[in-house]
Amino acid sequence: MKVKLVILMICFRILSLWVTSQTRTVTGNVTDDKFLSLPGVSILIVGTTTGTVSDADGRLYISNVKSSDRLKISFIGMKEQTIEVGRKSNIAVTLLPDLVGFIISVIR
């Protein structure tokens, strides 16, 4: 009985590692607080150099994303956001204005 339980627990552990190591493509839309599409928004998988930018219609597509990953979404003049991917394959992001960041970037 104990041997079966140990084997079953090992199988569950291997299965959970396999599931969390799978990658997928995450898609979505990036808008501002007025729900206007934001093209050219930077999307980066935190802790990696893998990233992309939103297209002309504010759509984002990023591949090789794991459930444990976080996406950092940033745009000049807007507050940066970090999103936990989890089980999501489609996300909707609304960036809010960051007047302090915008003023600093204009001054430079």
pLDDT tens readout for residues 19-39? 555 788 999 999 999 999 999
Among 3-12, 15-24, 45-54, 85-94, the minimum mean pLDDT is found in 15-24
pLDDT of 102 higher than 60: no
Which pLDDT does position 37 carry in this prediction? 94
Q: In terms of Cα–Cα distance, which of 41, 106, 25 is closest to 80?
A: 41
Measured at the alpha carbon of residue 27, what is the angle toward residues 37 and 17, in degrees to the nearest 5? 150
Give the rounded percent of residues in the chain with a pLDDT score beyond 70.
82
Residues 21, 44: Cα–Cα separation, whole Å = 18
Position 51, amino acid: G
